[in-house]
Structure 1
Amino acid sequence: MQTRSKNVIVIVDGWASGRYLAPAFVGRGYDCIHVSSTDKTSHAGYRKSDYIDNFELESSTPSAILERLRGYSIKAIVPGCESGVVLADLLANNFDVPRNDATTTQARRNKYHMIEALRKAGVSSMKQFASESISEILAWYTASELKTVIVKPTMGCRSDGVALCSNAAEIESTLVSNHGKLNVMGVVNTEFVIQERLEGIELMVNSVSCGGDHFVTDMWIGVGGIKNRISTDEYAELIMRGTEIFETVERYVIDMLDAIGVRNGAAHSEVMLTVNGPRLIECGARLTGAQLFAAVEEAQGYSQLSMTVETVLNPGQFRIRADALRKSNQRNLRFVYMCSKSDGYLVNDLDLSQFDQLATLERMIVFPRIGEYLPKTHDTVGRPGYAFLLSDDNQALDMDYLRFRELESKMFQDALDA
């Protein structure tokens, strides 16, 4: 069977959480085209069969891809994950589609320019400095009189290459070990940003925007973790709408999105609620990563994914839909970051059946397979899986969470034992 669609959705780097976009659009009768910006990242979840055509930047040029896309009637161009943000902006600026201005893309991708955009717009932000020079970064650190700082590649993602440093020697060691390294986004690290360490309550905020109008779809608070370590939260809790913390951070995020030029599409923001108010850690102009959207749908009746798809297809209903969703009931949802305390090659299959005893377990995904290497978990890059616990009873969540950790430890150990 052959079809010819008038309105086609273009997805750039439709892997990781972006793998859910094409099936959602296809399920509503739309055809999708995939554009790959790089072959240097993981293509987890990508299925060629979800698309009517596939273009690869590695074997072509942006102008050649644009020429091919002009043969279609394009309804929207959206990034599937972080690596697709820059190219999606570039392509969208050549079509009459909802988009973010490509001239301000760096404010939504480069970790330094992102914070600078806030400063210029008068939105509260952290102290920072960026350079390709180790000596310049060390000189700024000395002059700043800051004690503990965060150092990371300006074009990185997640906790890859990110370090918490308390002296010049640690900063220099971090820069030397990461300079010239290919990061998880397929970008070679050349420039680094050094930022003050924010302290307070860490929050993850997911949103969808339409024509400069913004809606926070879900907000999470990180729980647990190891002091003086990066990204070691044990789990995150869904924050209820109407609470003081939700409303305070929501107001800040809306101002922040305006400042960095997010006018259309999904965004995932990490915010620290300090004693002086919210401060942005960083923001990605794409869907949140590492999330099972079905669990969020079960908890509140919608998710960032469903809101993104509905907004692309019917932008005129955005505000009506957002106002209605604000009144939806929410259930308690716990986003558990799985952890392996041991490392080695898996010699046995992972037995997930033992988790059936947990009444609150809503969704679970585990990545390692037999024969693969399981690293000891120490940050977001190496997490072996995720789970969601859902209930109206917080006590039940607490009990199942403790049992989950026991079963998790046993499962990984059994899979490692010959």
Structure 2
Amino acid sequence: MKTVLIVDPFSTGKLYSPLLNNQGVRCIAVVSSRDLPQHFTCDLVEDNFADIFYWDDQPLDALKALSVTAVIAGCETAIYLTDYLTESLGVVGNSSRTSDLRRNKFAMQKALEEQGLRHIPSNTLKSPAQIPDFVATLDPALKYVIKPLNSAATQGVVFAEGGAAVRTALDDAAWNQRNDLGEINLGFIVQPFISGPEYVVDMVAFEGTFIIASVCRYAKIHKNGSHFVYESLDTLDPRSPDLQPLIDYARKAAAALDIRVGPIHMEIIWSDAGPVMIEAGGRLHGGIAPQLFQQVYQPDLLSLSIDSYLGRSRPDTAEAGAISQGRIGFFCSNENRTFNAPPLSTLQSVAQDSAYCGHKYFITPGDTTPVTIDFATCPGLFWLHHPEISQLDASTESLRKQLWG
């Protein structure tokens, strides 16, 4: 029986073990730190694992005795430990020497630059003491984005116009505070704002060959004083000729990040100058996307990722085929109010919608809704799939009214 370690099997990382168990693979969980936030660790389904180790207990010798076949990164917090264990246990994976390229936003951009690829000029600040001298170098006519070096989603991302606004954003930033991943912010990166539609390309590496598993396009809106409010995410056909420049760039960028095995989640702006990577991660697309992709693409992201980690042959196709249309819609709260769940009659009506797959709230009845300014303050979402885009549009309008109001 093959044995696989899954480091931090949280978020979409929790999807691996049921599928692997069904394939006769023994799964072992390795939790990178006992300091991880409870909203992560509550995803741990103990029954899915033959054993659970905590890295705080220094279990390397015990792990070496397991004859491990592969080490899988469950989520963002797993990247460094996954690469270390891959090398320590002598299995195929990504190099620990280049882990920063798959986790640190500044290192990612430098890697693109060194390979002659389109990138975002970036500056990094590790201490508030650097703020005055840095702000003095900025062009007052430019727009900038400020974000933590090691956060996830859009937590802590701020848009600023001119040096004075950048100074305010940096002064107010969460220096040395824990982010939603439970990690201490290592500093902040400041970049010129790049405009254009935003895409997500999910790939899976088979020893350095990149299979395109999905391509999606975000719709973000300017609302509640923020430029980073998610409205929807639509799946696209990776085989569309119109997307070829995006896909070609994504493959080159993934190679620059030294990704050899497993999934790559890459966010890209298609600017006037062409596609340019915002950031990337060596893990599955988060949220419910991998489950939606199982209904939309063949082969799908999750099955491709498992095949890659287990050393199976890559598929003959370079891109997955789209067999349906998919969408994730995000709820938005414009005010602080008490959240009340929809009545049963509404839920029964929603379930009859031909495109409806499911919905999820990130808050519970009685909670006060936060004002939505980014994904971290998004109160919930729903997901759909249907052969016809017109049905997705109609269902989106109906479900927003019924499930959020």
In the aligned structure 2, how far is the partner of 1:373 from the partner of 1:31? 42
Is 1:83 aligned to 2:77, yes or no?
A: yes
2:341 and 2:50 map into 1 onto residues whose CA distance is: 38
What is the alpha-carbon distance in structure 1 between the residues aligned to residue 171 and residue 136 of structure 2?
18
**Counterparts of 1:203 and 1:121 in 2: how far apart (Å)?**
22
| Matched residue, 1:361 | 356
Q: Which moved more, 1:130-139 or 1:272-281?
A: 130-139
What is the aligned partner in structure 2 of residue 335 from structure 1?
328
Q: Are 2:22 and 1:27 aligned? A: yes
Q: What is residue 416 of structure 1 aligned with on the other side?
A: none
Name the amino acid aligned to 2:326: L
Cα deviation 1:60-97 (Å, max 9, x = unaligned): 2xxx3211101101011011000111111111111221
Residue number among 58, 68, 77 corresponding to 1:74 in the alignment: 68
Matches of 1:235 and 1:312, distance apart in 2: 31
Pairing of 1:1-400 with structure 2 (within 5 A): 5=1, 7-38=2-33, 39-41=35-37, 42-43=39-40, 44-57=42-55, 59-60=56-57, 64-134=58-128, 136-145=130-139, 147-177=142-172, 178-226=174-222, 229-313=226-310, 315-320=311-316, 322-323=317-318, 326=320, 328-346=321-339, 351=344, 352-400=347-395
Percent identical among aligned pairs is 22
Tell me if the contact between 2:294 and 2:301 (Cα under 8 Å) persists in the aligned partners. Answer: no
Post-superposition offset of 1:275: 0.7
Q: Is the 8 A contact 2:108 2:279 kept in 1?
A: yes
Would the aligned equivalents of 1:111 and 1:282 in 2 still touch at CA under 8 Å? yes
Per-residue deviation, residues 307-333 of structure 1 (Å, max 9, x unmatched): 1112223x341143x44x64x343221
Q: Give the stretch that moved more between structures: 283-292 or 347-356.
A: 347-356
* Separation of aligned partners in 2, 1:184 and 1:305: 24
Please report how far the alpha carbon of residue 137 of structure 1 lies from its aligned counterpart in structure 2 after TM superposition.
Answer: 4.6
Give how far 1:301 is off.
3.1
Report which stretch shifted further, 250-259 or 344-353: 344-353
Question: By how many angstroms is 1:105 displaced?
Answer: 0.6
Task: Indicate how the Cα distance of structure 1 residues 137 and 176 shifts in structure 2: closer, same or farther if over 3 A, else same.
Answer: closer
- With the length of structure 2 as denominator, give the TM-score of the two structures: 0.91
Cα 1:316–1:358 change in 2 (3 A) is: closer
Q: Secondary structure at the match of 2:171?
A: helix
**1:376 partner letter:** V
> Which stretches in structure 1 are left out of the alignment for 5+ residues?
411-418
Partner SS for 1:209: strand
Distance 1:71 1:365, change over 3 A: same
Whole-Å separation in 2 of the counterparts to 1:273 and 1:135: 35
User: Partners of 2:171 and 2:54 in 1: how far apart?
Assistant: 33
Give 2:52's aligned amino acid.
N
Shift of 1:171: 2.2
Give the secondary-structure state (helix, strand or coil) at the position aligned to 1:203: strand
Q: 1:292 touches 1:363 (CA, 8 Å); kept in 2?
A: no
Change (3 A) 1:98 1:46: same
Residue 267 of structure 1 deviates from its aligned partner by 1.2
Aligned length: 397
Shift of 1:363: 2.9
Question: 8 Å contact 1:14–1:80 — kept in the other structure?
Answer: yes
